[in-house]
Amino acid sequence: MEIYIWQLDNHSEFWYENQLHMPAHYQISKPGVTVGYPPEWTVRKRMIQITKIIEWDMGHRVPQHRHKCRNPHGHRYKLELTLSGPVSCVKGSSQEGMICDFGDIKTLMLESIHQKLDHCFMASEDDPIFSDLAQGKGQDLNILLVPFVPTAENIVLWCYERLHPILPTNLSIVRLRLFETPSSYAEYVVTQ
């Protein structure tokens, strides 16, 4: 097996089995080169996946739905974010042995998703009832107008669009799974 090493700086080194998983703008060493790590560490340098979960309460409605979801209602949403990345082997670093600190991921998710959606009502811009309320006719109502019908499928894509640009460059989103109820979820699997 060939091992490629990329360097973010003079101190950070991560191993990849092939160049396909490696960010193109990083310095590449020669195939098969090791840098003083014992051979048994090669398992630790592979891409690892971690998952962080947040929950929030939010209302919505699906205006043209043929059943009861056309009525305003709410859910306890649960978002699972699965990330992939190399394990840090920077000696003495706060993140040594991790791909990323779960607390850092939680902070990103809370700031970009939870703070926007918790105890709000998500409505389509085309929804005549809630677009009027959101445009000043409803006093102090937390209504988020979006350019789509707020189904679980569209909301999980909205979450992806908010999270993808703010993640550290060494991490990739593998999957986002949004539970609308304990037994129903929409999942976005990122394909490369």
**69 flagged as catalytic:** yes
CB distance 138 to 59 below 8 Å: no
**119 flagged as catalytic:** yes
Structure tokens at 64: 């043209």
CB distance 121 to 77 below 8 Å: no
Of the residues 13, 60, 89, 180, only one is catalytic, namely 180
Of the residues 73, 119, 125, 164, only one is catalytic, namely 119
- In angstroms, the CA 33 to CA 9 distance is 17
**180 flagged as catalytic:** yes
Of the residues 17, 21, 69, 153, only one is catalytic, namely 69
Which residues are tagged catalytic?
69, 119, 180
